[in-house]
A and B are shown apart, each in its own frame.
Chain A
Amino acid sequence: MIRKPAPIPLRQTGEVEIDVRDVTIAFERDGGELVPAVDRVSFQVRRGEFICLLGPSGCGKSTLLNAVAGFESPYEGEVVVAGKSVTGPGPDRGVVFQQPRLFPWKSVKANVAHGPRMAGKSRAEAGAIADELIEMVGLTRSANALPHTLSGGMQQRVAIARALANRPGILLMDEPFGALDAQTRSVMQESLLRLWAQLDTTILFVTHDIDEAVLLADRVLVMSAGPGRIIRDVAVDIPRPRTIETTLGADFQALRRECLDLIRQQSQKAFEGNTDA
């Protein structure tokens, strides 16, 4: 996925990049009743960190990520990114969705070049940026292909390249590998880690896959079943670079165990909550 094995920089955790302050987001049920999907959540992400939001399905991970992306506005509280309150989506926060959501009428290159074009770059400049990123994700040969001719994994790589094209300080990823088969997912996880090591990007990564969270993250924020709250901030002090081999180590297994127990309790709670209702 990348050209050269990148040097492994000591990641320096700098100032606070994402500050989620007491955020509550509710949705209206059919009866008009307001039900919180995310309830008074606070957390901070420092520059350059790789943070995973981990929780069972429906616990409000996407809602929370969408609030940082600017697609949802909090009912209460606020999201502050790089010192400014978030009021809407913007090119400073690249988003990779679970579905690739590529523009089907644009070639791979044009998809990646879209952001720089919107930022006012000339066709040539945007094209050069796109070429570089497409090379980084290893798709140079498919640069002129239309998205629907690519496999799911390739499409998701284009989506990552596209989200990085504006050189955003923050990359938000919502279960980006959730729809991929296990082999492809594992390859994509390693590539993402290498890409992140190369770029100076803060990553907030949503997943319900415990192994994925522990493999990728500096910290795993474990969420409760709905309404979503953060119940544990698990620091993952496994040295980098990490590969698929990392998952075999004892330290990985211990952290995995810790998260698993937390998630189990939550899923159990959610299940009982549903049967009572």
Chain B
Amino acid sequence: MDRDPSPARRRFDPPLPAPPAALRRGPFRPGAFRSPAHGPRTAVVLGRWLGAALLLCFATGLISHLLQDPPGWLAPHLPPRPVNGYRTTQGLHVIAGLAAVPLAGAKLWTVYPRLFEWPPARGVLHLLERLSIALLVAAVLLELFTGLLNTLQWYPWPFPFRQTHYWTAWTAVGALLVHLAVKAPVIAAHWRRAGAVPPSVPPPVPPPVPPSVPPSGRRAVLAATAAAVGAVTLTTAGQSVPWLRALDLFAPRRPGTGGLPVNRTAAQAGTTAVPADWRLAVDGPAGYLIGLGGLRGLPQTTADLPIACVEGWSADARWTGVRLSDLLRRAGIPAGSAVRITSLEAEGPYRVTEMPAPYADDPLTLLALDLDGRPLTPDHGFPARIVAPNRPGVLQTKWVARIEAV
């Protein structure tokens, strides 16, 4: 970093005493790290890839958050189109997050020698900068770790996943911007390959198989990292990208075989046995109760809508049932109303959900009775479930008991 020892600056940034030189051992020794690939040019190339992955995760994560928990002013404007919008953004979220695992690993290896910088803190500003780096690394590692385990529904930690992952994302991106501000001169100096003709082709992506000339340390590191990103993506992305399904070896979900995956089974929700006298309650000025036979007697609509889970997987399905808007109009609930949907399940964070008006009015939003031409099974929400376009799976309420205007 550029050091400016002007007296004015020194007042705000007093130097700190260096520790005794006798402590400078092990990795702190000068020359302890010899690979030329630890240099700033590698850090910039890997940083660009990692930064792009992280920002993509942040943007798609915010979309997911806003679709699930919209602030009051936004809810009436949430778009039910494109139909595949959420499956795309959330699929990308998990793909970019998994790609960030090798990218973060390579980046942190590249800059590992900087952890043993000597003296550990030259001055107060330098100390603060190093603390912000510690925060950046901690937030990124926590984010990748919790995100990965969440896709397996594995929660070994004592804090709630969703809220922690959300706030840690803001922390990580904030620390990333600070990091970019601090390193700006180094980044600018190494943005292009040393000796490259300025306006030539974009940054080099080295071929995965090294040519006959022994690759320089940096190129080998970049090639290995690119190969690792490719391998991770190809062996997991099949859970959200249908044409990559044949290569899927490690994704926690496999849409297509064994039917449509579910997040919460009827046994988990306590809804395996639906009361024999089940009737859907639609509350409104002309509220009514209606049984399964009555629902099947109403005009039926078939729609192809994906189930797109917050955990990244998604799958196509063909749903048949009654348009939600038809049910609402029969109860005297006018178009433009948001509705509250209550499930039969006894508890769970999504037992009661609210559906903003654009979804409730959409002609593709159904109270579905059939999945792929057969009556719903208990795991898929028998006797009736909600499906709407461009909505996170957790909000596609199963085992519906009651619908009312908010």
| B partners with A | no
Residues of A whose CB lies within 8 Å of any CB of B are none
Binding site for A on B (CB under 8 A): none
